[in-house]
Amino acid sequence: MTKNATDQLPGPGGALLRAWWPVAAALGIALFAHLVLRPMLGDFPSKLLLDIGINIVLAVSLTMVNGFTGQFSIGHAAFMAVGGYTGAAIVYYGSYFAFGSEAVKAGVLSTLSVSHAGAPWFTSGDGLFLGSIIAGGLVAAACGYLVGLPSLRLRGDYLAIVTLGFGEIVRVLIQRTAEVSYDLDEIKAAPLVGIGQLFTQPRAEWQAPVWTRVGGALGFTGLPTYNSLFWSLAAAGLTLLVAYRIKVSSHGRALLSIREDEIASEAMGVNTTKYKIRAFVISSFFAGIAGALFAHTTGITLKASELGFVKSFDIIIMVVLGGLGSISGASIAAVILSLLPELLRKPGSLVELWPYAAGVLVLGVVLVAAGGTRPVAKRVGKALAGLGVASLVFAGAAAVAMKNGVDLSAYRMILYALALILMMILRPQGLFGVFEIWDRAAWDWLLPRRTSEPARRGVRP
């Protein structure tokens, strides 16, 4: 195992620093993005950046189960829904109880677009939001435990099937809840706990506790939008940190051993069920956090139908595209897949980029020609040339289609699907395989083969 430079710092102060500097760095970056980058970028790019943060949390948390442990969960969005609805109910009804209305009581950290001169950094509203995020994560983790305990004893695809079923059940149950209440008196009069008609749609005689009124099929509307670039990126940073620390710990090695060979790791004394459940619970926790963040984002109506298995597949695609088990790969895939649909939304603007594609092609050809006997230059050159040709062909086809009056935006998802299939066929191990972006082995396909045989086969040494 490699040692960090900070491992050498002496004394208790060093230990404290060693433990906390990455956290501080993550929060610092988030703060920087929120206070400095956001005004520079404008509203829409900031919103994209915020979505990227949430997607990173989702992708990295799923990496812990699908990537590290090799268990196949396809109901991740269900945990997101559980966390999201928990957080939303707490913030929404908590705001009524605490402040008398659902209006946003946000400080500087939580304002996405409005600048508050002289506003406090952190308000009671932010505190409520932070509490709701954590609560959402915890409830999702508890659900993860309940789902994982029985199903993780099974092997292979059965976990996939159970998580799929669980996801659908969560979705249906949420869709059957009662509509949101907007009336302060009604909310105060309702019982906080009680079983009542939990999942009916009562309008007159209503007995169910107030937190079950989360909007049903219409969605949870009127949620205060506390989420901001700061919260989203801070959560992403912390998730990355936790995932990385797990991966390089003995705990993480146990998980990786389960992925490589479950029977062998059991023979070596790893309690596979225990570790699988742990990974699943941690993963659900972060999915819940992502859900709570998602619920309080501007422009979002929390709807169970949007957190169905299509959403789960989106997350899985990020994980597989990045490379199963690669934290950095999953994050990069999350960034790409958050931006790609937006880019494809306006194909015309993509066509205008053709000079760049031509430039890439020329660069590639020059590298191949001038590379001589240097294999790295030749390989990089070939890759660039291929990329350039593909982009030029794409741009040409798009231009011809647009000239003929074809509405290209209708083909957005088709292009996306085709790209997905091609990617799976051409590079099945994802962007980085099981490696991180800084591992040399992740670049083996580009570099001359000098790495050891196990590394080439995709086994981490």
Partner 1 sequence: MDALAVGSLYALIALGYTMVYGILKFINFAHSDVFVLGAWTAYRAALCAGWTNDGVPEPIARWVLWILGLIAAVGLVLAVVGRTVVKPPPGALGQSGPARAGSTLLAVGVWGWACVGLVLLARVLKAGGMEYVAGGVILLLAMGTCGVVGFCIERLAYKPLRKAPRLNVLITAIGVSLLLQNVGQLDWMFGTQPARMPSLVAQDKPLLTILGTPNADGSIAGGVNVWLVDVIGAGTAIILMIALDRLVFQTKIGRAMRAVSYNPTTAALMGIPVDRVISFTFVLGAVLAAAAGFLYTQKYPGLLQPATGTWVLLGLKAFVAAVVGGIGNIRGAMAGGLLIGLIEFFGVGYVSTEYRDVYVFGLLIVVLLVRPSGLLGKAVAEKV
Minimum distance between the CB of residue 419 and partner 1, rounded to whole angstroms? 8
For residues 11, 12, 14 and 20, what is the CA-based torsion angle, rounded to 10 degrees? 170
Q: How far is the CB of 289 from partner 1 (least distance, A)?
A: 25
Question: Residue 168 or 179: which CB sits closer to partner 1?
Answer: 168
User: Of the two residues 366 and 423, which places its CB atom closer to partner 1 in the complex?
Assistant: 423
Residue 306 beta carbon to partner 1: minimum distance, rounded to whole angstroms: 10
By beta-carbon proximity to partner 1, the closer residue of 71 and 232 is 71
Shortest gap between Cβ of 175 and partner 1 (angstroms)? 9
Amino acid at 400: V
User: In terms of CB distance, is 298 or 305 closer to partner 1?
Assistant: 305
In the complex with partner 1, which residue's Cβ is closer, 35 or 173? 173
In this complex, which beta carbon is closest to partner 1, that of residue 377 or of residue 424?
424
Nearer to partner 1, 6 or 201 (CB): 201
Least distance between partner 1 and beta carbon 275 (Å): 18
Cβ–Cβ contacts within 10 Å for residue 27, how many? 15
Q: Which residues of 286-304 are buried (b: 16+ CB within 10 A; e: fewer)?
A: bbbbbbbbbbbbeebebbb
Shortest Cβ distance from residue 330 to partner 1 (Å)? 13
Residue number with CB closer to partner 1 (75 or 237): 75
Q: How far is the CB of 167 from partner 1 (least distance, A)?
A: 9
Q: How far apart are CA 90 and CA 187, in angstroms?
A: 13
Distances (CA, A) of 146 to 149, 159, 259, 278: 6, 13, 22, 12
| CB 164 to partner 1: min, Å | 7
Residues in the site for partner 1, rule: CB under 8 A?
66, 72, 150-151, 154-155, 157-158, 160-162, 164-166, 168-169, 172-173, 176, 199, 263, 305, 308-309, 313, 316-317, 320, 324, 410-411, 413-414, 416-418, 420-421, 424-425, 428-429
Cα–Cα distance, 139 to 151 (Å, whole number): 19
CB of 128 to partner 1, least distance (A): 32
Nearer to partner 1, 39 or 454 (CB): 454
Minimum gap (Å) between residue 425 Cβ and partner 1: 5
Q: What are phi and psi of 279, to 5 degrees?
A: -60, -40
Nearer to partner 1, 32 or 72 (CB): 72
Select 394 or 416, whichever has its Cβ closest to partner 1. Answer: 416
